[in-house]
Structure formats: structure tokens, C-alpha cells
């Protein structure tokens, strides 16, 4: 098996058996990036020298019997919204094109402490605002399964890098589906943990009450391994939760007989492609054969989640992005006075989609509209959360749904139609509104050869149940043909 095909579990075992070194594994991935990424454009920046140095340090530790974790010496990538000290963090925006943070995000610090090797920063929709990775100031990323299609967004670079074997795993962020939808489009595993499960310190904010760091990996076992290391309370993030961290990978491939799994009827409609609905039915049959009880359930306020999300998320974005004013850091466009400099900087620094969302959010927060839009959205959010609380209080272990209405669509198909683009999030945003964990696993290929992933939703801080069910559903790894 080529080194770049390996999962975290494969590579950890091979490194332990001294079949190759961490440096050899890192150089193999860097060589593949150099050869393949010009087709995909998953990476914004490649940190080759730092990666080789980190791999060499991992080899030295292993020679002394001081291996830090299963991730020690394993090459990975970070979405370019997660700060890594001394490495550009651009958020795929001209506004931060030259920004180099002087500190690490907690999630990356924990991985670095575990011996992870950072290959570079991967592409995304600008400031994580998008569902296709087409709004990046540095150009779109392409789907490894079809180079004419999008990889999803906003963590499209993260998903594409893992799918194309450019990195063994990657961290992304998920505000309304930005880990799970790309996982579905690119045929990889994507987990969005419970809000507060992973620290957000050092992650550039989009919508603070919705943002969550997530993981893109080749298998559920790999995602579980990473989750155990990055999860947990952080004194630098008051919203991080103090709940104990579990050995999540021990739950993979466990017996799921007797588990109750709900299928919400609101997620099954004519808006979902026929092939996706068919694969969902196949999964129900498979789960029943494994001894699970699968029942239809109802989440009556689901229809309100998408419009409520785009009020709440844009309102928070308007507030969070106010800091980019050309004064403290980031882009500055010189002008004759402060006001003109402020206007010119934001006009030049932000792309079309970011400007659209700032304007929507500012309107929702403005005098005379605050109660009608923002406050009403908070009430709707409560109703959505109560729907899920009711279902899980009835003894359901998780819910099974589609991830998105379609498989990966063509580049440029929805760039002039933002409402259609926003509809891509219809199956994912309710989970962010409720603050719950969700897992997407690759399940099948469509008749067009594009991946279909299925989504599992759990109760708060019950990620282990999702991994138990997901590991029984995930297909043998789907591999794109990159015609090398």
C-alpha cells in the first residue's frame, strides 16, 4: 500500500513497525501535493520545511521510545481559518492575505503537542461563508472525484485534501454544515462535535454561537482518534465544555443491536435527489439487519431552521467582521481620512459573499428590525432545540438523515444564485442551531460516480454513539481517479 493511501491507524502501525519513517511519510505527501494539487488546489500554503523538521523530531522521539500519541509523525492539514504560529492564516480573504498569527489555536496546539506534522493550510470559502469553496480569494478548489465539480464548503480544501490523499486528515470548521457537506461531496468522514466539545480559541470567528471545529478523515476510527486529542475544556475559551473526554475510537465497530435510530420525516422530501433517498433506504435496511430499531420521527420546526440560521449567522458575522477596519491588522488601503480608509479597506478586502452577509446581518441588527428578525430568530432556535431534546428524551440514540439535497454540483452552477446555494445547507444547519453533534460517513457512489454521504445526529456530548453507528455504515473507502 502506498504511504499516501494510509489511514491514521495504518500509518501509526507502520511507523511502530519501522516500515518507514515519519520523514519518509511526510516527503511522500509533499511530493504528492506537488504532483496532484495543481489539479485540485486544496492548499493555499504548503509548509514543507516546517513539516520535514516536525517529522524528523517525531522520528527522534520514536527512536528514544517517547512516542506521544497515534498521531505522532502523521502528516495533516489545517483549514486556513485556524491559527498556527508563524504560518499565514488568511481565511481565504484578501483582508488577511498577509496575516501571520503569533500564537496557536488550541486545537492545533493539542495536535502539535501530540506530534502531528503540519503540511500546510488548506483552501476554504472566504471567512467560511459558502457551500462550495468558490468564494476563496485565491481561487476555487475542485472535487477529486470530478474536477468540474465543487468539493463543497466552506471546508472544501480540507475534504479535498483528505479525499485526494494529500493529507491523512484535516481540521475544518462547521458553522452550518461546512465540515459535513464537503465530507458528503468528497467521500470522506466528517464530524462536527457538540458545541463546546472542541475549543474555538485561535479560530477566526464567523458566527460565534454556531462555529465548531470539526474533523475530516478517511475513516470513523481516524476521526475518533483525532477527536480524543483535540477535545476538552480550554481555559482560553469560556464556551468550551468541561465534560470528560472519552477514548472515542474504542466505540468504533461496536455492537449496535438494540440501539434506537430515528429517521426524521422532515428531511425526506422531493427536494432530496432520488439516489440519495434510495441510499438512505438501503442504510435503514442495513441498520435493521445489524439489530438496530429504526423508526420514523418528526422534528416539526425543521422548516424554519434555514431562514433562521441565515439571520442569526449573518448578524453574528456583521459583529465579528467589524474588527477588520484597516487600523489594527490585516489589509489597509490608504486614503485621505479615516472614514475613506475604512470604506476603501473593507471594499477591497472583502469578497461579494462576505459583503452580502455583512449587509444582511447589519440590517437584521438595525434599529426597528432587531426584534422582528434577530430576537425572533432566537425564539425559533429554542423551538428547534426543543424538538431534538424531545426526540432524545424518548430514548433515541441517534437520527439518520441525508447530508445535502444533491451530490457535488458543477463549478459555477450556483454562484449567481445565492438562494439556491444556501439551500445546500437545508439538512445541516438545524444541527448547528441546536448545538448538537453530527457525523457524515461515505456510503455509496451515485450513478455519476460522485460520493453520497449519510448524516447521523446525536444528543449533546454523545459523539461515541454516532461513531459506533457510523463505523458500521461507512463504506470501504471511496477513491477518486485522478488520472495520474
Establish if 424 belongs to a structural domain.
no
Active site residue 367: no
Q: E-strand spans in 123-239?
A: 169-173, 189-192, 213-217
At 121, list the grid cell: 493550510
Reference 210, options 476, 429, 379; nearest CA is: 429
pLDDT in tens, 388-420: 999 999 999 999 999 999 999 999 999 999 989
Kindly state the helix (H) or strand (E) to which residue 439 belongs, with its residue range.
Answer: strand 438-445
Quick check: 484 pLDDT over 60? no
- Give CA separation, 277 vs 7, 296, 446, in Å: 29, 14, 11
Q: Distance between CA atoms of 426 and 206, rounded to whole angstroms? A: 19
pLDDT in tens, 113-162: 999 999 999 999 999 999 999 999 999 999 999 999 999 999 999 999 99
pLDDT in tens, 409-448: 999 999 999 989 999 999 999 999 999 999 999 999 999 9
Establish if 21 belongs to a structural domain.
yes
Contact status, residue 331 vs residue 96, Cβ threshold 8 Å: yes
Establish if 398 belongs to a structural domain.
no
25: confidence class by pLDDT, cuts 50, 70, 90: very high
Active site residue 154: yes
Q: Distance between CA atoms of 92 and 129, rounded to whole angstroms? A: 10
Span 268-272, average pLDDT: 93
Mean pLDDT of the residues in the chain: 97
Task: Using the structure block, give the residue that is written with the C-alpha cell 481620512.
Answer: 337
Q: Which residue has the higher pLDDT, 253 or 303?
A: 303
Establish if 80 belongs to a structural domain.
yes
pLDDT of residue 483: 61
Quick check: 287 pLDDT over 60? yes
In CATH, what number is assigned to the domain containing residue 248?
3.90.1300.10
Span 204-209, average pLDDT: 98
pLDDT of residue 1: 87
Q: Is the alpha carbon torsion for 235, 236, 237, 243 positive or negative?
A: negative
481: confidence class by pLDDT, cuts 50, 70, 90: confident
| Residue ranges making up the domain that contains 233 | 3-257+431-473
Residue among 132, 154, 158, 199 flagged as catalytic: 154
Residue among 69, 79, 136, 170 flagged as catalytic: 79
Establish if 282 belongs to a structural domain.
no
At 246, list the grid cell: 472519552
476: confidence class by pLDDT, cuts 50, 70, 90: confident
Residue among 21, 178, 240, 459 flagged as catalytic: 178
Number of independent structural domains in the chain: 1
Please, is 323 exposed, middle or buried when counting C-beta atoms within 10 Å of its C-beta (0-12, 13-18, 19+)?
exposed
Amino acid at each position: 500500500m502506498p504511504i499516501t493511501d494510509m489511514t491514521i491507524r495504518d500509518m501509526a502501525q507502520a511507523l511502530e513497525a519501522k516500515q518507514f519513517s515519519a520523514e519518509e511519510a511526510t516527503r511522500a505527501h509533499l511530493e504528492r501535493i506537488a504532483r496532484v494539487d495543481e489539479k485540485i488546489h486544496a492548499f493555499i500554503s504548503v509548509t514543507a520545511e516546517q513539516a520535514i523538521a516536525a517529522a524528523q523530531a517525531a522520528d527522534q522521539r520514536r527512536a528514544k521510545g517517547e512516542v506521544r500519541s497515534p498521531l505522532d509523525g502523521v502528516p495533516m492539514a489545517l483549514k486556513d481559518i485556524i491559527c498556527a504560529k508563524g504560518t499565514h492564516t488568511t481565511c481565504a480573504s484578501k483582508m488577511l492575505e498577509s496575516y501571520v498569527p503569533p500564537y496557536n489555536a488550541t486545537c492545533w496546539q493539542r495536535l502539535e503537542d501530540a506530534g502531528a506534522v503540519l503540511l500546510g493550510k488548506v483552501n476554504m470559502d472566504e471567512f467560511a461563508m459558502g457551500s462550495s469553496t468558490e468564494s476563496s480569494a485565491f481561487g476555487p478548489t475542485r472535487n477529486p472525484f470530478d474536477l468540474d465539480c465543487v468539493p463543497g464548503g466552506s471546508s472544501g480544501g480540507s475534504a479535498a485534501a483528505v479525499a485526494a490523499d494529500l493529507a491523512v486528515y484535516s481540521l475544518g470548521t462547521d458553522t452550518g454544515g461546512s465540515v459535513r457537506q464537503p465530507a458528503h461531496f468528497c467521500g470522506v468522514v466528517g464530524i462536527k462535535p457538540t458545541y463546546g466539545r472542541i475549543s474555538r480559541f485561535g479560530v477566526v470567528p464567523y458566527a460565534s454561537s454556531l462555529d465548531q471545529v470539526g474533523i475530516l478523515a478517511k475513516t470513523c476510527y481516524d476521526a475518533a482518534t483525532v477527536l480524543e486529542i483535540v477535545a476538552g475544556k480550554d481555559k482560553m475559551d469560556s464556551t468550551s465544555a468541561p465534560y470528560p473526554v472519552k477514548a472515542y475510537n474504542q466505540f468504533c465497530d461496536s455492537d449496535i443491536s438494540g440501539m434506537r435510530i430515528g429517521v426524521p420525516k422532515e428531511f425526506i422530501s422531493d427536494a432530496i435527489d432520488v439516489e440519495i433517498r434510495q441510499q438512505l433506504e438501503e442504510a435503514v435496511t442495513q441498520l435493521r439487519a445489524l439489530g438496530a430499531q429504526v423508526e420514523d420521527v418528526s422534528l416539526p420546526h425543521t422548516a424554519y431552521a434555514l431562514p433562521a440560521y441565515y439571520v442569526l449567522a449573518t448578524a453574528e458575522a456583521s459583529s465579528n467582521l467589524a474588527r477588520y477596519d484597516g487600523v489594527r491588522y490585516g489589509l489597509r488601503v490608504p486614503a485621505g481620512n479615516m472614514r475613506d480608509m475604512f470604506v476603501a479597506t473593507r471594499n477591497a478586502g472583502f469578497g461579494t459573499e462576505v459583503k452580502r452577509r455583512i449587509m444582511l446581518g447589519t440590517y437584521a441588527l438595525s434599529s426597528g428590525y432587531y426584534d422582528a428578525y434577530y430576537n425572533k430568530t432566537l425564539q425559533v432556535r429554542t423551538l428547534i432545540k426543543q424538538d431534538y431534546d424531545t426526540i432524545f428524551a424518548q430514548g433515541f440514540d441517534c437520527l439518520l438523515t441525508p447530508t445535502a439535497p444533491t451530490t457535488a454540483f458543477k463549478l459555477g452552477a450556483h454562484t449567481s444564485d445565492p438562494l439556491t446555494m444556501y439551500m445546500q445547507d437545508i439538512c445541516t444547519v438545524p444541527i448547528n442551531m441546536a448545538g448538537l453533534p453530527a457525523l457524515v460517513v461515505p456510503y455509496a457512489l451515485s450513478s455519476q460516480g460522485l460520493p453520497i454521504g449519510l448524516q447521523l445526529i446525536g444528543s449533546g456530548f454523545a459523539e461515541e454513539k454516532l461513531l459506533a453507528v457510523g463505523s458500521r455504515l461507512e463504506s470501504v473507502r471511496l477513491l477518486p481517479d485522478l488520472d495520474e
